[in-house]
Amino acid sequence: MITAERKPLEELLGYIAPYSRILLLGCNECVTVCAAGGRKEVGLLASALKMAARKSGKELQIVEHTLERQCDPEYVEEVASMVAQADAVVSMACGCGVQQMAMRYAKPVFPALNTKFMGGSERQGVWDERCAGCGNCLLGVTGGICPIARCAKRLMNGPCGGSANGVCEITPDVPCAWHLIWERLEELGQTEDYLEIIPAKDWKTAQGGGPRKIIREDLAE
C-alpha cells in the first residue's frame, strides 16, 4: 500500500489562505488503511482547519467527502459538482490522487498529505517501507526481503560493515535488511544463494528511466 502522513496544519493553512470554500477530499484506499486520509482523518482535518482559521477570524466552509479511490478518473468525476462549489480542493489522497484531481479540475488542488512510501503494516499503527518500485524485482533471490527498499545503502550483495546486532547503523529502529535476508536464507536452507553476486542493477526499469507507464494492450482502448 501507499503510505502517507498528514502535512503540518500551518502549511495547509498557507495553501488555502486565499480561499474560503474548501472541498476536503479523502480516499478510501491506501491512505485510509494507513490512517492518513480516510473519512476519519478528513473529519479531523476539517475540524482542525475550521478552528485554526477561526482563530485568525476567518470562517471556512469545508465540504468533506471521501472517494472510493482518488487515482481513477471515474471516481474523481463524481465530485464535479462539489468542486464547482469550492474555491479550492484539499486532497487527502496520496500524490497520485492529488494529481488525478489536478488533471481533471481547473481549480487549485493542494496536497494535505506527504506521500511516503510503499509499505506494509508491521502492527497496528506502524508501517514500514517494503518496496522501492524498482521495476525489476529481486525478491526471488533475496529470501523475499528487498535490500533495495530496506537497506539504507541499497546494497545488493550483503551487509555492510555497519550491520551489528541485527540492526542498521543508520538507526537501531531499523533492522539490517541483510541480516533479515540471511536469517531467511538460513531458514529456507538457501544460504548458498548468498554467494551469487547480484550484478549491477538496471535502474532504467526504476524511476531512473523516467516516468514509467504500464500498458496492457488487451485492456487498453
Partner 1 sequence: MQKKTKLQSNGSVLVVGGGLGGIRAALDLAEARKDVILVDKAPCIGGLMTQLDRTFPTNNCDLCTVAPFTAKDSRGGHLDMRGLTTVTAVKGKEGNFTVSLMTAPRFVNVEKCTACGECQRKYPECVSFAPGLDPRAPTCMRYPKATPYAYVIDMAKCADKEGLKQCCPVGAIETDALPKVEEAQCGSIILAAGAALFDPSHLDYFGYAAQPDVVTSLEYERILSASGPTGGKLLRPSNGQPPKKVAWIQCVGSRGLQKGAGAYCSSACCMFALKEAMVTRERFDSEIETTIFYMDMRAFGKDYEKYLNRAKEQYGVRLVHSRPHDVLRPVGMDKLQILYTVDEAPKHITEEFDMVVLSTGFKMNEDVKKLAEDLAVELYADGFPKTDCFNAVATSVPGVYVCGTLQGGKDIPETMTQASAASCLAGAKVAVTPRPKAELPAVTPECAGSPRVGVLVTLCDHESTALDTTALVEYAKSIPHVVCAAAFEAACDPSSFDAVKAAILANGVNRVVVAGSSPRYELEKYQAMLAPVGINKYLIEVANIREQAAWVHAGEPAAANAKAKQLVAMAVAGVMAAKPLADHVVPANKNALVVGGGVTGMTAALELAGQGAKVCLVEKTAELGGVARNLVKTIEGGDVQALIADLVEKTTSHPNIKVFTATEIVDHSGQVGLFRTGLSVNGAYKEIEHGATILATGATPNQPQAFLLGENSRVCTQLDLQKVVNEQPKEVKKWKNVVMIQCVGSRDADNPNCSRLCCQSSIKNALAILKENPNARIFVLYRDLRTYGRFEEYYQKARELGVIFVRYSVDNPPKVEAAGHYANVTFTDVIMGRQVVVSADCVGLSTGFVASRKSNEALAKVFGLPLTDDGYFAEMHVKLRPVDMDKAGFFVAGCAHSPKVIAENLTQARAAASRAMTVLANDTLVQEAKFAHVDRARCAACLVCVRACPFDVPQITVDDKGLGRSYIDPVKCHGCGTCAAECPAKAIQLNQFEDVQILSSLDQLLAKVNA
Partner 2 sequence: MKTNSNLEKVLAAGHLAVTAECGPPRGAMPDKVRERAAFLEGVCDAVNVTDNQTAMVRMSSLSASVIIKQAGFGLNPLLQMVSRDRNRLSMQADILGAYSLGIDTMLCLSGDHTKFGDHPNAMNVHDLDSIQMLQMVKGMRDEGKFQGGQDIKGDPPKMFIGAAANPFAGPNVQVRAMRLAKKVRAGADFIQTQCIFNVDKFEQWMEIVRKMGLHKQTAILAGVTPIKSVGAARYMQKKVPGMDVPQEIVDRMAATPKEKQPEEGIKICVEMMERIKKIEGVSGFHIMAIEWEEKVAEICEKAGLLPRPQL
Partner 3 sequence: MEQFEPVIVAFCCHYCAYTAADTAGSQRLSYPVGVKIVRVPCTGKVDAKHLLTAFEKGADGVLVAGCLVGDCHFKDGNVKAARRVEFTKKYLEEIGIEAERLEMVRMSAGMGREFAETATAITEKIRALGPSPVKGKNCCCGKAA
Binding stretches for partner 2 (CB under 8 A) = 152-166, 169-170, 176, 178-179, 182-183, 191, 194-195, 197-201, 203
Spatial separation of the C-alpha atoms in residues 156 and 158, rounded to whole Å? 6
Nearer to partner 3, 15 or 75 (CB): 15
Phi-psi region of 68 (alpha: psi -120 to 50; beta: other; left: phi over 0): alpha
Contact 24, 63 (CB under 8 A): yes
166 binds, among partner 1, partner 2, partner 3, none (CB under 5 to 8 A by kind): partner 2
CA proximity to 16, closest of 50, 64, 66: 50
Q: How far is the CB of 164 from partner 2 (least distance, A)?
A: 5
Binding status of residue 217 toward partner 3 by CB under 8 A: no
Q: How far is the CB of 88 from partner 3 (least distance, A)?
A: 19
Element (H, E) at 63: strand 61-67
Binding status of residue 41 toward partner 1 by CB under 8 A: yes
32 binds, among partner 1, partner 2, partner 3, none (CB under 5 to 8 A by kind): partner 1
User: Binding string to partner 3 for residues 50 to 69, with x set by CB under 8 A, is what?
Assistant: xxx-xx-x-x----------
Which residues pair with residue 91 across a beta bridge? Answer: 25, 111
Nearer to partner 3, 125 or 140 (CB): 125
165 binds, among partner 3, partner 1, partner 2, none (CB under 5 to 8 A by kind): partner 2
Instruction: Name, in order, each residue with C-beta under 8 angstroms of 120's C-beta and a sequence gap of 6 or more.
Output: 1, 127, 128, 130
CA proximity to 37, closest of 47, 48, 27, 52: 27
82 binds, among partner 1, partner 2, partner 3, none (CB under 5 to 8 A by kind): none
Binding status of residue 10 toward partner 3 by CB under 8 A: yes
User: Quick one: CA torsion of 102, 104, 108, 112, rounded to 10 degrees?
Assistant: -50
